Amino acid sequence: MAIETASANRSHGGVQGVYKHASAATGTEMTFSVFVPDHAEGAKLPVLWYLSGLTCTHANVTEKGEFRAACAEHGVIFVAPDTSPRGEGVPDDAEGAYDFGLGAGFYVDATEQPWAKHYRMRSYIEQELPALIAAEFPMADMGRQGITGHSMGGHGALTIALRNPGRFASVSAFAPIVAPSQVPWGQKALPLYLGGDRAAWREYDSVALIEDGARLPGLLVDQGAADNFLEGQLKPELLAAACKAAGIPLTLRIRPGYDHSYYFISSFMADHVAWHAERLKA
C-alpha cells in the first residue's frame, strides 16, 4: 500500500501533502491530500475527513477550504480524498454531464455495469483509505475520527457515519444532499449505479438510514440561504424532520446570503474544525 508524494508544502507550521497510490478498491490510481499540523514527537492527533462535492477533486478544498490555520490551532489532521475513480478505461457519462460519472461517484459501491468495476468509492473511503492513512501516517489517531463534507460529500459524510456507528466521534456537513432518493441528483445517479430497486438506495440516503434505525450522537449542518440548489436538491428540512423524530441532536444553521460555493464553505470551515476538535479530545 505504498504511497507516492506528489507535493509537500510547509503551511501554518505543518505540512500540506498530496499523495498518490494504486487503489485495489477502484482499480485505478487515486490522489488524496493530508494536512499534518506540527506536533511533538510521538504525539497522536485526531483525524478529520472531508468529502468533496460534485465535479470536485481533493484539490478544491485543499486550495480553497481555508482549514489549515484552524487545524494547526487545534492539532487536527485533515484528509481530503477524491470524489470518484479516474484514469484510462474509467467510464464517464456519455454526454459529459457534471452530475454523473467522473467527479460524481456519490460514495457508493456501484453494482451496475459498466460502473461496478471502478466506482467503488464506499469501499475506498470506508476501508482502503483509512487503512492506508493508519499505515503511512503514524501520528494519526484512528481511534479519534470525525467526518464532514460538502453537498455530495455531505451526503457521503452523513451516510458513512450512519452506516458505521461508533467510528466517528463527530459528524458535520456543508449543504449536504440529505435525501438523494427524493431529489433529481440522486434519482439520476442511484439507479444507474445501483439498479432500479429503490430498497438498495436506502443505505445511501441519510434520511432513509435514520428512518431505518441508524443514529448519530449529534450533527452540525451549515446551509446557505442563497444556495440555488437549496429547494430542489438539498432539502435540509427533511433531515431536520428525521433527526427530530429519531431524537438525534441537530444544529442546523441557515446562513443568510451565502451560496453553494467555497466562499460559503471557507467562511465557516474554522467553526467546523473547532466543533470537531472539541469532540475529538482524548
Q: Residue 186: in which H helix or E strand, if any?
A: helix 184-194
Torsion angle (degrees, nearest 10) of CA 77, 153, 277, 165: -110
Q: Which residues are catalytic?
A: 151, 227, 260
CA contacts within 13 A on the Cβ side of 148 = 28
Number of H helices, E strands in the chain: 9, 9
CA distance 277 to 279: 5
Torsion angle (degrees, nearest 10) of CA 147, 152, 155, 156: -50
CA distance 282 to 279: 9
Q: Say how many C-beta atoms besides its own lie within 10 A of residue 71's C-beta.
A: 26
